[in-house]
Amino acid sequence: MTRYIKISLKNRGVSCIARLLEEEAPKTCEAVWNALPQSGQVYHAKYARNEIYTMVPRFFDQPIGMENTTITPIPGDVCFFDFDGGVLDQKFKEEKGIDKLPGVVDLAVFYGRNNLLLNGDIGFVPGNVFATIEENLEEFAEQCNDIWFSGAKGETLVYERYEK
């Protein structure tokens, strides 16, 4: 049975529907599915280009590892990143309120083209592509771009199970 998630920008009142890529990223899909719902302050990427994301505490016991990875996500890719506490810049962690956690999960949506997952501190950052947006990417992308233009403050990115 195909599983789907709903990804929403709460205050903007817009959502999209993504299909889990269970054959390509089975461990990632299972971990994310079992941890839903997840939500947090949305951020717009500074370097990756057309990306919004939220960071949440780790929700698994054993490392998931790399599966179905990319450093050049395409529009509609939904990615999972697992960062150990020492990987991220201290000021960045303090800004996001995650400086006391041993590690975090970054759940990201890519809404446009020409993305490159390169971090100035650590180099290339492959992400596990675990879902692909199949419904309402265009409207969702408009609001993602508005986050870049208008700001992310006070906006919540929500990931939850969705029944078709």
Please state, as a whole number, how many other Cβ atoms lie within 10 Å of the Cβ of residue 154.
Answer: 9
CATH 3.30.70.920 fits 4-162, yes or no: no
In this prediction, residues 36-44 reach a mean pLDDT of 96
> What pLDDT digit, counting tens, does each position of 128-156 carry?
999 999 999 999 999 999 999 999 999 99
pLDDT band with cut points at 50, 70 and 90 for residue 24: very high
> What pLDDT digit, counting tens, does each position of 91-109 carry?
777 777 777 777 889 999 9
Instruction: State residue 89's pLDDT score.
Output: 67
Instruction: State residue 120's pLDDT score.
Output: 79
Instruction: State residue 54's pLDDT score.
Output: 95
What mean pLDDT value characterizes the chain?
93
Instruction: State residue 86's pLDDT score.
Output: 65
Instruction: State residue 104's pLDDT score.
Output: 87
- Confirm if 105 and 59 have CB atoms less than 8 A apart: yes
* Domain range annotation of the chain: 4-162
> What pLDDT digit, counting tens, does each position of 55-78 carry?
898 999 899 999 999 999 999 999
User: Who's near 62: CB < 8 A, 6+ residues apart?
Assistant: none
Burial 106-124 (b: 16+ CB within 10 A, else e): bbbbbbbeebebebeeeee
